[in-house]
Amino acid sequence: STSPRRKTLLTQIGLSFIVEPSSIHEDFTIDLAPEDFAQHYAKQKAMDISYRNHDSLVIGADTIVVLGNRILGKPKNATESYDMLTSLSGTTHTVMTGVSLQAKSLEIDHTFIEKTKVQFKELSDIEINYYIENYEPFDKAGSYGIQDWFSVCVEKIEGCFYNVVGFPLSAFYKEIDNIFGT
């Protein structure tokens, strides 16, 4: 992953790692339920890197925002960003991160999902436009970052805050502990 937020979060918990982006590109027309979509692409990304790094533990992740059954990825431009934020205004949506752990030499092939519910306040056009113009959220699923100015628009979350930032640290630690022990 090239996500600067994931890099910061993994560094925060003391991991030493090398960032190697995969060549996998998401196809939003694929017919998968949101949970399966996030896990599918997390695993595809991790396997892509794992094939070239047999002796390494590879972590792949894919975060999506889900409103109803609609998957919101990263907006391509300001218009898509505006449309996403308008659709999320005053609603509760789910942030899902699929995480895949792959290590060929250790025969590790483990993928899981973490879900967090996020409730937004009603957003005004002024707030949406301000956010897009000043924070350019084009590299963020759902077109927002809970860790930046947009935090003032979040009324409530149920679940892991770090999952919304981009990587579910607590669930990841639990899964690693289950695989390797403490």
Q: Which residues are catalytic?
A: 62
Q: Pick the closest to residue 93 from 7, 19, 154 (CA basis).
A: 154
Cα 106 from Cα 132, distance rounded (Å):
44
Rg of the chain over Cα atoms, rounded to whole angstroms, equals 16
Cα 128 from Cα 148, distance rounded (Å):
14
Token pair recorded at residue 169:
């640290």
Between β-strands 108-120 and 70-72, what pairing exists: parallel, antiparallel or unpaired? unpaired
* Residue in the structure block whose two tokens are 């860790």: 147
CB atoms near residue 12 (< 10 Å): 11
State whether residue 115 is helix, strand or coil: strand
Asked whether the beta carbons of 167 and 97 are under 8 A apart, the reply is yes
State whether residue 101 is helix, strand or coil: strand
